[in-house]
Chain A
Amino acid sequence: MTETITLSDAKVIIENQIEELARRNREPEWMTRIRYKALEAFEKAPLNDLVISEEELLHFIAKPEIEGIPENIESLDDLPPEMKALLDRLGINEVEQKYIAGLAVQTDTGVIYNEFLKEWEKKGLMVLPTEEAVRKYPDIVKQHFLKLFRADENKLTAYHTAVWNGGIFLYVKEGLKVPFPLHLFFLIQESALAQAPHIIMIAEKNTEFHLIEGCTAPILVKHSLHLDMTEAYLHDGAKVQLTVLQNWPEYVHTRPMTRAKIGKGARFINTTVGLGTGRSNIANPKYWVDENGYVELNGIILGQKDWFVDLGGEMYLQGERAAGINASKAVIMDESTVITRGVIRAEAPKTKGHISCDALLMSDRAVMETYPGLVSKVDDAELSHEAAIGKIRDEELFYLMSRGLDEEKATQLIVKGFLEPMLRDIPMEFLVEIRKIIELAVSGGM
């Protein structure tokens, strides 16, 4: 029997974590105060999670690490055999495998960025670990940290705020256009301190960049609840793409929290690719869009095993002629459940919004639900939605097979084709791996 953890036990544990983080990160007092305030909020805040009960949450807090993952990973041979086998099947080279396993980093929560980026630093592109930004640029961080969220919204936002650690702070100077995608991923070694990274993105006026976060390869984490928070600020005319690749192992519950403020004439394209969604993945990103601004949320979901995915997305079209698109494509296999529930709120004249949801059901035990929400407070908004849930048609499958492809190969082609339109902005090197992962998932090899 596992012992019962009470709320006050959890508070003590969190308090110890706060103290440890404050010391390790040599944190200024104002940040530690934010953590303590969040800890207070944690007690009273509601927990409105569809999957995790309060009892489970308290357990996660008391014992965040999963058993059976080796304490120290010194070589690829220390990886659990399934993880190693999967890396081999994906054909990921040894160097990249080492990065994934966290072997190529020296620090616990380091951010890897290459020489290329250092050049750009001189032009006004700043990328650094969030805790380092807290020390170096307290004024900017104070203006942007936890401005799009409140710690007391619920127990998860409160817990994140109390124990956040790692993540990146990205700042792009006015007018700077970065012509290549920035690829960043977090390397997690000491799990208990790395389950709640905090990301801040600031795009000054008329900047342009594409940030790719995460990896196509499975992420080796030792904890079972991952609570990352992203706050993005797009000033007027900024054009930002944020692509999040996720391939979580099956023991992880993930609750990515993303919010963005989109300035006048700014464009934000937020794509999430859930290759491995983990045991459960619940996200409800929010976007506030000013005059002539544009936001796009593209969700690609591979539902597998008995996993549960719930992707929302709320868009507040607050300025005249602001526009938003929430589009998702889900391939739902095995006994997984996928829910999509985008909401677009037209609050200013001449705004436009569209929600689309396409799902391919691959098994009769899989479940898809979609609940589009359109709210108009003005009389000249254009809001629409469409949804299509279906399975692969026998005629299509037969046609491809009649040319000599077996059922598995034919199915893979159709599934890749179904998802392809959503992957148009993803660089080739990732696409190759994403396609391979889709193939493996379809043939039950993940």
Chain B
Amino acid sequence: MLKVENLHVSVEGKPILKGLTLAVNSGEFHVIMGPNGSGKSTLALTIAGHPKYSVEGGRILFDDEDITALGPHERARRGIMLAFQHPPEVEGVRIIEFLQQVLVETKGVDPVEAYDMIIKKAEELWFKEEDLHRHLNVGFSGGERKRLEILQALLIEPKLLILDEPDSGVDVDSLSVISRKIEELHQRGTAVLLITHYGRILGHLDREKLRAHVMKDGRIVKTGSGELVDRIENEGFGRIFEEVEG
């Protein structure tokens, strides 16, 4: 479904991704780990189509279509969704109105029906109706922001959900509901590409079915199964990098 081929990306002239290749098939669950600055977020934002990240080489295919030059909204409409690491505050834009418009425009849902859908799903992520009249992420805690990202994923039901550190800055209770919902989406058929620092969010997931990748300096240097996650947890990245380089 998603094919990233020999991707080179720079930000403001500085090369970040240096020939990254990755394939995610329908319904798969991939985890990307790597130290700070290895290019994990750049990969996520480039797939989502952030204009600041310029593709210098390689391409991104989605369902066999080259989407490298498409705008973020066009990628979203093809079924890609990024849950942000740092969802920005958007002053003045109410959550409910925004989500309603998204559902009406991208899924053709009737506005009244959309409203009910949103309220119902929001409860599952501990948002009350009045919370949804707040402005997008404005004054939200880390946990609230991340739960709101997951709420959007549940409503949009993307083919591919990219999660950029859904576990960072999150309290324990939020983390547990977030991982359950990710699992739920995955079971309903959404392919997941999860970027994380730690393995703790994976506690709830079946390691057997995971594909794990380790990034370093703009490339994927090692790919393996769920055990790789445990090794990183226990041994850190150092040992793995030594192996790869050695």
Assess whether A405 is in contact with B92, with CB atoms less than 8 Å apart: no
Assess whether B76 is in contact with A394, with CB atoms less than 8 Å apart: no
Nearest chain B CB to A246's CB is how many angstroms away? 22
How many residues of chain B are within 8 Å of chain A by beta carbon?
32
User: Residue of A at shortest CB range from B86?
Assistant: A395
B136 — which chain A residues lie within 8 A by C-beta?
A: 399
Q: Is A114 an interface residue (CB 8 A)?
A: no
Q: Is A409 an interface residue (CB 8 A)?
A: yes
Q: Decide: A417 near B71, CB < 8 A? Known: A404-B76, A404-B106.
A: no
Assess whether B93 is in contact with A400, with CB atoms less than 8 Å apart: yes
Q: Is B52 an interface residue (CB 8 A)?
A: yes
Contact string against B for A residues 48-92, beta-carbon threshold 8 Å, 1 for contact and 0 otherwise: 000000000000000000000000000000000000000000000
Assess whether B90 is in contact with A401, with CB atoms less than 8 Å apart: no
Cα A38 to Cα B136 in complex, Å, equals 55
Assess whether A405 is in contact with B90, with CB atoms less than 8 Å apart: no
Q: Is B66 an interface residue (CB 8 A)?
A: no
Assess whether A403 is in contact with B156, with CB atoms less than 8 Å apart: yes
User: Residue of B at shortest CB range from A413?
Assistant: B93
Assess whether A402 is in contact with B81, with CB atoms less than 8 Å apart: yes
Partner of B73, one of A396, A404, A416, A421: A404
User: Residue of B at shortest CB range from A421?
Assistant: B92
Q: Decide: A420 near B49, CB < 8 A? Known: A401-B72, A403-B102, A413-B98.
A: no
Q: Is A377 an interface residue (CB 8 A)?
A: no
Partner of B90, one of A399, A419, A420, A421: A399
A409 — which chain B residues lie within 8 A by C-beta?
A: 101, 105
Q: Is A20 an interface residue (CB 8 A)?
A: no
Assess whether A402 is in contact with B88, with CB atoms less than 8 Å apart: no
Q: Decide: A417 near B73, CB < 8 A? Known: A393-B88, A399-B84, A403-B102.
A: no
Q: Is B197 an interface residue (CB 8 A)?
A: no
B72 — which chain A residues lie within 8 A by C-beta?
A: 398, 401-402
A425 — which chain B residues lie within 8 A by C-beta?
A: none
User: Residue of B at shortest CB range from A419?
Assistant: B92
User: Residue of B at shortest CB range from A405?
Assistant: B73
Assess whether A400 is in contact with B90, with CB atoms less than 8 Å apart: yes
Q: Is A36 an interface residue (CB 8 A)?
A: no
List CB contacts (< 8 Å) of A265-281 with chain B. Answer: none
Cα A401 to Cα B101 in complex, Å, equals 12
Assess whether A414 is in contact with B152, with CB atoms less than 8 Å apart: no
Assess whether B93 is in contact with A414, with CB atoms less than 8 Å apart: yes
List CB contacts (< 8 Å) of B66-113 with chain A. Answer: 71-73, 75-77, 81-82, 84, 87-94, 97-98, 101-102, 105-106
Partner of A404, one of B91, B93, B102, B135: B102
User: Residue of B at shortest CB range from A358?
Assistant: B91
Q: Decide: A414 near B90, CB < 8 A? Known: A402-B81, A404-B105.
A: yes
List 19 A-B pairs, Cβ < 8 Å: A393-B88, A396-B90, A398-B72, A399-B87, A399-B90, A399-B136, A400-B90, A400-B93, A401-B73, A401-B76, A402-B48, A402-B72, A403-B106, A404-B77, A404-B102, A407-B73, A417-B90, A417-B92, A417-B135
Cα A196 to Cα B70 in complex, Å, equals 54
Assess whether A417 is in contact with B91, with CB atoms less than 8 Å apart: yes
Assess whether A418 is in contact with B92, with CB atoms less than 8 Å apart: yes
User: Residue of A at shortest CB range from B155?
Assistant: A403
Residues of chain A touching chain B, judged by Cβ–Cβ distance below 8 Å, are: 393-396, 398-407, 409-410, 413-414, 416-421
Nearest chain B CB to A362's CB is how many angstroms away? 15
Q: Is B51 an interface residue (CB 8 A)?
A: yes
Overall SS of chain B's interface: mixed
Partner of A420, one of B48, B92, B156: B92
Assess whether B51 is in contact with A405, with CB atoms less than 8 Å apart: no
Sorted nearest first, the 6 A-B pairs with minimum C-beta distance are A417-B92, A404-B106, A404-B76, A417-B93, A401-B72, A395-B88
Q: Decide: A406 near B73, CB < 8 A? Known: A394-B51, A417-B135.
A: yes
Nearest chain A CB to B180's CB is how many angstroms away? 22
Nearest chain B CB to A422's CB is how many angstroms away? 10
Nearest chain A CB to B138's CB is how many angstroms away? 10
List CB contacts (< 8 Å) of B193-235 with chain A. Answer: none
Assess whether A403 is in contact with B76, with CB atoms less than 8 Å apart: yes
B91 — which chain A residues lie within 8 A by C-beta?
A: 417-418
Q: Is B50 an interface residue (CB 8 A)?
A: yes
Assess whether A417 is in contact with B49, with CB atoms less than 8 Å apart: no
Nearest chain A CB to B139's CB is how many angstroms away? 15
Q: Decide: A403 near B88, CB < 8 A? Known: A398-B50, A413-B101, A417-B135.
A: no
Nearest chain B CB to A38's CB is how many angstroms away? 45
Cα A433 to Cα B49 in complex, Å, equals 34
Nearest chain A CB to B41's CB is how many angstroms away? 13
Residue of A400, A403, A418 ringed by the most chain B CB atoms within 10 A: A403
Assess whether B87 is in contact with A405, with CB atoms less than 8 Å apart: no
Cα A409 to Cα B102 in complex, Å, equals 10
A420 — which chain B residues lie within 8 A by C-beta?
A: 92
Assess whether B102 is in contact with A416, with CB atoms less than 8 Å apart: no
Assess whether B101 is in contact with A398, with CB atoms less than 8 Å apart: no
Q: Decide: A402 near B73, CB < 8 A? Known: A394-B52, A409-B101, A413-B101.
A: yes
Q: Decide: A402 near B93, CB < 8 A? Known: A409-B105, A413-B98, A417-B135.
A: no
Assess whether B98 is in contact with A400, with CB atoms less than 8 Å apart: yes
A396 — which chain B residues lie within 8 A by C-beta?
A: 88-90
User: Residue of A at shortest CB range from B50?
Assistant: A398
A413 — which chain B residues lie within 8 A by C-beta?
A: 93, 97-98, 101
Cα A397 to Cα B37 in complex, Å, equals 25
A417 — which chain B residues lie within 8 A by C-beta?
A: 90-94, 135
Cα A421 to Cα B72 in complex, Å, equals 29
Assess whether A402 is in contact with B49, with CB atoms less than 8 Å apart: yes
A414 — which chain B residues lie within 8 A by C-beta?
A: 90, 92-93
Cα A395 to Cα B89 in complex, Å, equals 9
Cα A407 to Cα B102 in complex, Å, equals 13
Partner of A403, one of B52, B94, B97, B152: B152
A395 — which chain B residues lie within 8 A by C-beta?
A: 88
Partner of B88, one of A399, A405, A406: A399
